[in-house]
Chain A
Amino acid sequence: MVDTPMVAMRGVQKHFGSLHVLQDIELEVARGEVVVVIGPSGSGKSTLCRTINRLETIDAGSIEIDGRPLPEEGKALADLRADVGMVFQSFNLFAHKTIRENVTLGPIRVRKASKADADRRADELLERVGIQAQADKYPAQLSGGQQQRVAIARALAMDPKVMLFDEPTSALDPEMIKEVLDVMVDLAKGGMTMIVVTHEMGFARTAADRVLFMADGRIVEQNTPDQFFTNPESDRAKDFLGKILKH
């Protein structure tokens, strides 16, 4: 089953009231592929990302993860979410738990790992993202960049099949963006399947296999980063790139 795409969205539609935020979304993401989603704000890119683990429901169409359709609710949905890592714009670390506890909560409660195993794995992951020294602190004691790297470790602790990043650097001070992007580039090189909503064009150029450009709820254009940035086809993309790459 090498051909089964890791993520498959077919005919996906979503409305917020009268606003048609996702229109006829067709998307397949292959195993190990890194897809960067860009587009103006309000284009539906965050919503697209959030529908993939059903933090947003869809009105029509289908979404499959590794060949399995997204369950409606309950245990089956929780099981699927455990396989889909998510990193949020606002980090969303559990404020009342230490850094290590943030990383071990899922493995202990969902994967039923022993505390000792979970702790060991957490320390490995925290070391990998460069936060091991802070393992006993609370999220509020860390900088934004550090918190986001913990959030990545927390997602990785579940051994996800695919990782979703919803504007992971948009809430960060400029000097902290790089430390988070470095971790993400490492992940991409390590073969993780990733869907990344971002404004970081540098990351898209370095790490993406494919760039997806969204506007008004549609996927307007998709291409390799090289082609997309040097040779955008649609007027919307040209206009967007013109605005963000001028300075």
Chain B
Amino acid sequence: MDVLIDNADVLFRAFGVTLKLLLVSGLLSLLFGTVLAAMRVGPVRVLNVAGTVYVNIFRNNPLLILLLLLFFGLPKLGIHFSYFNLNVLALTLYTSPFICEALRAGVNSIPIGQAEAARSIGLGFTQTMRHVVLPQAFRAVVPPVASVLIALTKNTSLVSIFGLLDLTARMKGLLNDYPSQLWWIFIGIALFYVVIVELISLGAALLERRWRIA
């Protein structure tokens, strides 16, 4: 138990790193995932194909491989990111296809008549999506998107391999320094992740309740 109390400041800083990583890559994934979904359901053939190819490539490869590729590949191309940005980039590229697919399922669950009615009063494709289809799709996809974000929370732990001192990296450090308190360290670190995941679940539940009426 002492190990957690003695290292509280380190742990909370690491918690901050994990949280920041999650927030930035989560927001970017939501944004880019929405763009991808719009590409896939839109009327432009080239964008359909581009979206599908992207989703298939990035969803079908392990995040670790993507991280390795960016970590060693980008510098060779003369592109240099900070560790933080590089990890955010990898997590975003990897997570957005999952957001896209969750959204696309949501869009497909909205009856076609909604879009037809929107088009029949003169709304264009973008307006139809923005004012009629997506607001309804977002409601339908709160639970699956929450699952994607929870998966992202746990995926952030991979960045510990690539130079960021997040919770998992700190766990490894502490395990080296306090091998006798192994269980406390595991439990302590796990609790931090549980807190994040519970927050996401709570947020999702609140959104669901707020949007249910309509």
Contact = CB atoms under 8 A, between A and B. Distances in A.
A78 B131 CA distance: 15
A55 B119 contact: yes
Interface of A: 53, 55, 73-75, 78-79, 81-86, 88, 90, 92-97, 105-106, 109-110, 138, 151, 154-155, 157-158
A220 B214 CA distance: 45
* Interface residues of B, dominant DSSP: helix
A39 to B, nearest CB: 22
Interface size class of B (residues with CB under 8 A): 20 to 34
Nearest to B127: A109
Given A95-B214, A96-B135, A96-B214, A88 B116 contact: yes
B136 A95 contact: yes
A55 B120 contact: yes
A92 B214 contact: no
A79 B120 CA distance: 10
Interface of B: 43, 111, 113-114, 116-124, 127, 131-132, 135-136, 139, 213-214
Given A96-B135, A96-B136, A158 B116 contact: no
Contacts of A83: 122
A86 B122 CA distance: 11
Contact of B131 (A81, A105, A138): A105
Nearest to A107: B121
15 contacts: A78-B119, A81-B121, A86-B117, A92-B116, A95-B214, A96-B139, A96-B214, A105-B121, A106-B123, A109-B127, A109-B131, A110-B127, A138-B213, A151-B117, A154-B121
A82 B121 contact: yes
A155 B121 contact: yes
Contacts of A151: 117
Q: Which of A55, A93, A155 has the most C-beta atoms of chain B within 10 angstroms of its own C-beta?
A: A55
A158 B118 CA distance: 12
A94 B122 contact: no
A78 B120 contact: no
Nearest to A84: B120
Given A138-B213, A138-B214, A93 B122 contact: no
B120 A53 contact: yes
A106 B124 contact: no
A84 B119 CA distance: 11
A83 B131 CA distance: 20
A88 B124 contact: no
Contacts of A95: 114, 136, 214
Nearest to A158: B121
B39 to A, nearest CB: 17
Nearest to A74: B124
A83 B121 CA distance: 8
Given A78-B123, A82-B121, 18 more contacts: A55-B116, A79-B122, A81-B122, A86-B116, A86-B117, A88-B117, A90-B111, A92-B113, A93-B117, A94-B117, A96-B136, A96-B214, A105-B131, A106-B122, A109-B131, A110-B123, A110-B127, A155-B120
